Amino acid sequence: MTASPLDLPAAPLPAVRPSVALLTDRYELTMLQAALADGTAHRHCVFEVFTRRLPPGRRYGVLAGTGRVLEALPHFRFGDAELAYLERADVVDARTLDFLAGYRFTGSVSGYAEGEAFFPGSPVLQVEGSFAEAVLLETLVLSILNFDSAIASAASRMTSAAVDRPILEMGARRANEQAAVAAARAAVIAGFAGTSNLEAGMRYGLETIGTAAHAFTLLHDDERSAFESQVAALGKGTTLLVDTYDVRRGVETAVDVAGTGLGAVRLDSGDLGVQAVEVRKQLDDLGAHRTRIVVTSDLDEYAIAALAAAPVDVYGVGTSLVTGSGAPTCGMVYKLVAREDASGVLKPVAKASANKITSGGRKAAARRYGDDGRAVEEVLVIGPEELVSVWTPDGEDLRPLLVPLVVEGAVDSRWVGAYGVQNAVATHRHSRAELPRGARRLSAGDPALPTTELRLG
Amino acid sequence: MTASPLDLPAAPLPAVRPSVALLTDRYELTMLQAALADGTAHRHCVFEVFTRRLPPGRRYGVLAGTGRVLEALPHFRFGDAELAYLERADVVDARTLDFLAGYRFTGSVSGYAEGEAFFPGSPVLQVEGSFAEAVLLETLVLSILNFDSAIASAASRMTSAAVDRPILEMGARRANEQAAVAAARAAVIAGFAGTSNLEAGMRYGLETIGTAAHAFTLLHDDERSAFESQVAALGKGTTLLVDTYDVRRGVETAVDVAGTGLGAVRLDSGDLGVQAVEVRKQLDDLGAHRTRIVVTSDLDEYAIAALAAAPVDVYGVGTSLVTGSGAPTCGMVYKLVAREDASGVLKPVAKASANKITSGGRKAAARRYGDDGRAVEEVLVIGPEELVSVWTPDGEDLRPLLVPLVVEGAVDSRWVGAYGVQNAVATHRHSRAELPRGARRLSAGDPALPTTELRLG
């Protein structure tokens, strides 16, 4: 039931999805129209994606969605259907439609590796190009990163709480149908062992799991017929759902039908901790010592932690995963931090109103380590563009966090498709392991790493 | 800024989206395999979608997504790519692949009209057909209805709180990119006046809105240049964002550039109530009496209600809308309630374990009205299949709630595309208006209508 890299398709699936260009807020296009008219559209710009704060009490965030942004980029094209709509709905003028017809992103993107932990202020993505090219991507980039990272951040707490027991993602029915695919992907990045979602399995080479629902038992004249049918079709290694009528009789029938080699039984209701103990004893008494117990039913990271002492082998998680366990979106923003002025010099810019003060200028970022090899600080490197843009750390206690993802329009294929997911799984495992021990506590607290500034020049 | 039915395209857009058949939990297919092998796959079944409870404190739910289910149905097909994956990943056997290759839904679907209020137990969708045909749709149906209804239910509270002021949907960046389209559609069904989401505009004929972000001001050498550019491109009726640097100076510059005919100013930070008063006074002092004030910045239904006395003209809502304002999914389930037995008779069935007791058998549903014309009860009609399936109310105090949506595989086109949305808008307006007055209170409370049973025979 664990994902194996060997099962992955050799390359990302061919992308036959239609244009994603209209998954965009209207104002990106009206800003473009005005900027094309006044000549500023071609000013070179740097946009940064970051969050001002983590959800209340959370100690770290997990970046996910980067690979999906890169997969979407070649599909961000305005074809005949999109242009006809924009003209018919009078969204932008003819000059802008001409520009959109030829649009492709030729700029560059850097960012944290997908799966990396992030903290307030971490520049998880930097998009660089003309204003026209880069501003159009704002909505899509944020949609993907905010949702996927919310799911991965919740999922990481769950896999932390489960320690070595596998968790399976089963939340499709409680999420938008396409969001469910992204959620399955994000869950696996954060350590889930598999998903019930077939589209996610196909698209990203994820392990898929699933056996039967209560409807299957109810379809049959009795529970025994249903179990016999399932074992005949799927083998003795299957998982039988034993709580449709009476759990004790269900377990008895299950072992009677499948024998002591039955793969697993699933409990989907009631007091799971108490039932797991009873069912384990019953299975052992019946000689089914290796039959595993799968529990599902509104689990979240707290419920998983509470079951640590119960004889549970596998967790299935749905609703709380796909809704971010109380934090269904991240607060990531896509901010213009530097742009060319009339004389062609890249200048830092920042909104300075009310209480939203942010440093202007491009940032570099690094994680600082203590003597024990654990991370101690998230370091944002600021200062003059000509220094920040070429900064590399001068000591071994700093690990630079920004990696190139798109160079002059060319997407680095290591970050997309099934391989991208596998890379992200490894990145997350490593990134989480080096956080301070307190980072994995479920109780509310401050971010596990303070964000500090290193000013150059 | 309100949606006009006259602006709608004459028919739903051509659906060029690829197969949605793998947006499905694996166990739907493994159950199918076992049922095909044992002969029960062809048993006639009735599945019902309902929720056991509303989110804590909510007084009513709003059904949304029905039109999207119907739009997806013709695309629930297993093509070469899907079948090749299922074979390669060894999900099901050859017999099942053969069945899937020929799959199309030929059964029938009834349900509440989209936009209708619902309560615990309301059978918002009934799917009837062979087990094989109907079980496969479970995941997709629930994904769509649970997400879309969560958004519409939150949106309805917001439009209630806003009374006659328009609300604009701007949440795409805080939702999965495809979920954002569904959220925009659900928001409009519950009374939002428009959306920033262009894809939703194109697909469902929704009014789209949007002008400029802080990045546009920062792109320019100063605020005045940015405003001049925007007014030149979009006209004086545009909305200028005045809080990039200093609101007071921003408003002054805005009216100086656009004149007193300026359409609106937008405030996106700070204490919106206080600022709205100050800005209104400043606009009036400058003679810009008809310039409107748009406020955005983490609004939810409570913040909207708190601004009732402030001189605000339009609300923009993002995060709280697309995350269901604390209830990001509904708890709708897709349950087998009746199925043919070995002798060909349709028998009621129900899971009966732990504390999940549900009545078996197909239900009819109606809303009962009091003498003042307001709804007083949600009535579930239960009893023998032969009576329930043909039930009609015998008094004028009962309005039947189930309408035919799909008849023997043929989708009723009134419920899909832009017209479907317009119908749902009207349904919701009417449905909400006839709820008891207390239903629209924002404070936590019990469901506005009790669910009662009317037993036939």
Q: Is the pLDDT of residue A216 over 50?
A: yes
Give the domain range for residue B421: 5-136+331-436+443-452
Kindly tell me the sign of the dihedral angle through the C-alpha atoms of B268, B270, B274, B275.
Answer: negative
Q: Is the pLDDT of residue A456 over 90?
A: yes
- Among B325, B355, B385, the domain-final residue is B325
- Which of the residues B218, B223, B224 would you substitute to probe the A interface, choosing the one with the greatest number of A C-beta atoms within 10 Å? B218
- Among A281, A312, A343, the domain-final residue is A312
Would the pTM of this model clear 0.90, i.e. be above it? yes
Same domain, A288 and A402: no
Q: Is the pLDDT of residue A351 over 90?
A: no
Same domain, A304 and A332: no
* B429 domain residue, yes or no: yes
Same domain, A93 and A68: yes
* A319 domain residue, yes or no: no
Same domain, B303 and B350: no
Residue B359, pLDDT score = 67
Residue B358, pLDDT score = 56
Residue B351, pLDDT score = 81
* Contact (Cβ atoms closer than 8 angstroms) between residue A271 and residue A303: no
Q: Mean pLDDT across chain B, nearest whole number?
A: 93
The band of B57, judged by pLDDT with boundaries at 50, 70 and 90, is very high
* B379 domain residue, yes or no: yes
* B362 domain residue, yes or no: yes
Residue A358, pLDDT score = 56
Q: Tell me, what amino acid is at B202?
A: M
Same domain, B308 and B341: no
Q: Across the interface, which of A33, A45, A349 has its CB nearest the CB of B233? A: A33
* Contact (Cβ atoms closer than 8 angstroms) between residue A376 and residue A436: yes
Q: Is the pLDDT of residue B15 over 50?
A: no
A5 in B contact zone (CB under 8 Å): no
The mean pLDDT value for A5-27 works out to 61
Higher pLDDT, B5 or B413: B413
Task: Give the distance from residue B382's alpha carbon to the nearest chain A alpha carbon, in angstroms.
Answer: 19
The mean pLDDT value for B166-191 works out to 97
Which of B 144-203 lie inside 8 A of A, CB atoms? 144, 146-148, 170, 172-182, 196-199, 201-202
Q: Across the interface, which of B28, B172, B215 has its CB nearest the CB of A336? A: B215
The band of A359, judged by pLDDT with boundaries at 50, 70 and 90, is low
Residue A202, pLDDT score = 92
Lowest-pLDDT choice from A12-16, A76-80, A86-90, B102-106: A12-16
Same domain, B48 and B94: yes
Q: Across the interface, which of A81, A142, A245 has its CB nearest the CB of B353? A: A245
Same domain, A268 and A331: no
The mean pLDDT value for B387-399 works out to 92
Q: Is the pLDDT of residue A13 over 60?
A: no
Q: What are the pLDDT digits (tens) for A371-394? A: 999 999 999 999 999 999 999 998
Same domain, A381 and A331: yes
* A161 domain residue, yes or no: no
CA separation for the pair A273, A366 (Å, rounded): 43
Q: Mean pLDDT across chain A, nearest whole number?
A: 93
The band of B410, judged by pLDDT with boundaries at 50, 70 and 90, is very high
Residue whose tokens read 């599902």:
A296
Number of domains in chain A: 2
* B298 domain residue, yes or no: yes
Kindly tell me the sign of the dihedral angle through the C-alpha atoms of B331, B332, B333, B335.
Answer: positive
Same domain, A223 and A143: no
- Among B303, B325, B347, the domain-final residue is B325
Residue A199, pLDDT score = 93
Higher pLDDT, B123 or A16: B123
Q: What are the pLDDT digits (tens) for B355-374? A: 444 568 999 999 999 999 99
Which of B284, B224, B290 lies closest to B262, judged by CA?
A: B290
CA separation for the pair B454, B117 (Å, rounded): 19
CATH number where A398 lies? 3.20.140.10
Same domain, B407 and B297: no
Task: Give the distance from residue B385's alpha carbon to the nearest chain A alpha carbon, in angstroms.
Answer: 17
Same domain, A288 and A383: no
Q: Note whether A176 contacts B147, CB cutoff 8 Å.
A: yes
Lowest-pLDDT choice from A47-51, A347-351, B50-54, B150-154: A347-351
* B156 domain residue, yes or no: no
Lowest-pLDDT choice from A413-427, B148-162, B352-366, B420-434: B352-366
The band of B396, judged by pLDDT with boundaries at 50, 70 and 90, is confident
A8 in B contact zone (CB under 8 Å): no
Give SS3 for A57: coil
Q: Across the interface, which of A33, A179, A234 has its CB nearest the CB of B30? A: A234
Same domain, B217 and B319: yes
Q: What are the pLDDT digits (tens) for B254-299? A: 999 999 999 999 999 889 999 999 999 999 999 999 999 999 989 9
* B202 domain residue, yes or no: yes
Lowest-pLDDT choice from B22-26, B90-94, B175-179, B390-394: B390-394
* Contact (Cβ atoms closer than 8 angstroms) between residue A352 and residue A423: no
CATH number where B296 lies? 3.20.20.70
